[in-house]
Copies of this chain bind each other. A is one copy, B any other.
Amino acid sequence: MIGDIMNSAKKTSDSLDKDEDKLPVGESLGQDPVFDSLRKRGHRITAQRETILQIFREQPHGEHLSAEELHAKLLERGSNVSLATAYRTLKLLSSLGLLRELDFAEGHKHYELKQDTLPHQHIICTGCNLTLEFEDHFLEEAGQKIGSRYNFEVIDAQFKIFGLCPNCKLKRR
Contacts and interface: CB of A to CB of B under 8 A. Distances in A.
A157 interface: yes
A2 B163 contact: no
A152 B123 contact: yes
Q: How large is the interface on A (under 10, 10 to 19, 20 to 34, 35 or more residues)?
A: 35 or more
A164 B153 contact: yes
Interface in A28-66: 41
A105 to B, nearest CB: 6
Given A105-B101, A142-B139, A155 B147 contact: no
A128 to B, nearest CB: 12
Contacts of A154: 161-163
A117 interface: no
B163 A153 contact: yes
A160 B160 contact: yes
A126 B38 CA distance: 17
Interface string A147-173: 101111111111111111110010001
Nearest to A169: B153
A132 interface: yes
B139 A151 contact: no
A105 B125 CA distance: 21
